[in-house]
A and B are shown apart, each in its own frame.
Chain A
Amino acid sequence: MTEIIRLDSVERSYGQPAVLACAGVSLTVEQGELVAIVGPSGSGKSTLLNLIGTLDRPTAGSAIIAGMDVQKMSDAELSALRARRIGFVFQQFHLAEGVRAIDIVADGMLYAGVPLAERRERARVALDRVGLAPRVDHKPNQLSGGERQRVAIARAVVGEPVLLLADEPTGNLDSESGASVVELLRELNRAGTTVVVITHDPDLAAAFPRRVAVRDGRVVSDSRFPAGGDSHIQEVSA
């Protein structure tokens, strides 16, 4: 299968003296996987999401996302990668107030050079896909928390990205809406999208087939390779 994410002893340090928020992570995610990256706050999981999402570059090691070597790409090329291959879902939803759901979702393809009419058409399809067909003309303040996160997910998948990244997608939701959002992510995954979810909640992570635990900027366990049996990881952390 095609590798969507391939991190090789990736490091990301901040400031002087350098603090390693990501201290040598090697991780491979293949197309069609549904992965939860789980760790307490301060474990470096957000840094990891930034690196996987190409919002940030490693200070050492190599990151190959959707077949592209992040280290060798310009800022504009990384923007193009995000515009065409990666979808993001955020804990705080990031929905513009006073804008109709259909236009929020259409903005998911704003930087792909698709004309507005076609963007809206595809946004309608995406909203239907997340079960919000009757809510296309509603504004964020007319939607429940769960519905808002569904709008955000529709925005992330409207451009049919190969990789969907979700940062604490259920963090601001009650358990019922949270469960429905997780079910939606599973559905999208079944339809072929690679989904990586970041969470601090072990219960949420338990709902995913593959769980990668991080702590202090390192991967401490990966359910795909029980008992730390991943030769790849052992090789680099040795």
Chain B
Amino acid sequence: MPFIPHTEADVAEMLTAIGAPDIESLFAEIPSELRVRALNGVPEGLNEQQVLRLMQERARQDGLPLNFIGAGAYPHHIPAAVWALVTRGEFYSAYTPYQAEASQGTLQTIYEYQSMICALTGMQVANASMYDGATAVSEACLMAVRANRKSTSARVLLPGTVHPHYRTVTQASTGGQGLELKTPGYQRATGQTDMSALTAYEGQDVTALVIQQPNFFGVLEDVDALTDWAHARNALVIAVVNPTSLAVLKPPGQWGTRGADIVVGDGQPLGCPLSSGGPYFGFMATRMDYVRQMPGRIVGRTVDLDGRPGFTLTLQAREQHIRRGKATSNICTNQGLLMFAGTIYLAIMGAEGLERVAQTCMLQSAELVASLTHLPGVRTAFSGARFHEAVLLLDRPVAPVLEALAARGIEGGYDLSGHYPELGPALLVCATEVHTGADIAAYSAALADVLKSVRVA
């Protein structure tokens, strides 16, 4: 059925039917001092032609800088086939469809997505996706509180090595639900979560420990030791991982003696373009033991009355439309479109392709770090092993350096002085397979030039 707004005749007919002289009269009961007459600062509407012109001008302002930022959003090559397929009518929806079982192809794709996430993470079951990495972390914390029946404190350790935005989102969405989030610090030498900071929680009831791998600094954590520490104290382990890195790192299902309990992350590196922060998608996987505490939709494989295979939404008794206020989450959908992009990306890359991407990321990142730290006044902050990001320390404030680089068409990294002032002038940089040797040389040359002109504070 097409969407046709009310015509003036429709409106007049409806007003007559209820005996109102005009639409304005319907708001008469609201005291006039409470009515907002004009929306100051909101411009008049634009027509399509004007909007297109405006957006083209804005896009020109963005330009096409060389991007070395990272910090949770990573440039990767996306094969053209990914979005050519995702934008087909069969896939072009943001949601799990209503009457889901009528859309077997959609459910089969979600099922294949879930299977791929399980294979990457080494876990037994994955849901149909979450909004993004940050909300997946907060949902994982809430889930851990429900799932860990040996703990009553709802105390979750969310170390300072976890992405600061993920921590802020988690605080915002769990603080009102009685969770107590603690932030153990990191080792200044290695950039890893500090095991001795964890000893402050010895003997306390800890519900879960969050481990980001690689962590926000790009440093690899000692995930086995952290996982075993948590499990020895009856705390669950929530792994926050970069899906690309899983092609070369140990899957969270194999961390420590028992493996992580809940695995989440942002799926952006899998086929989702960088676009002012989103939309991205989050992923979540767990052990079968905890599946009834997992939020979100889950597609299962089954057989129909004639024994033919088919796909269906399953374990729906966890969800809001059945469980009401006691549902595992208010999330009753998934991030369908971006999840399809991730699925098609993984299908095209295959295990070998993803591994080559991950290896190239590491090589290019190492080359970037070597090239930049060759310059006087630039050194690495941490000794820990890295994936594709690194923290650099500068001998002068970061912001003016980044500004001068931007003027030269280079987004030089993420300024850490806001979130980690104790590090001094610190810059997070990232290189992936999209950065060529020439790109890295261009950055290095530009930085050398900028360091000559930007004052040491």
Q: Do A and B come from one complex?
A: no
A interface residues with partner B (beta carbon < 8 Å) = none
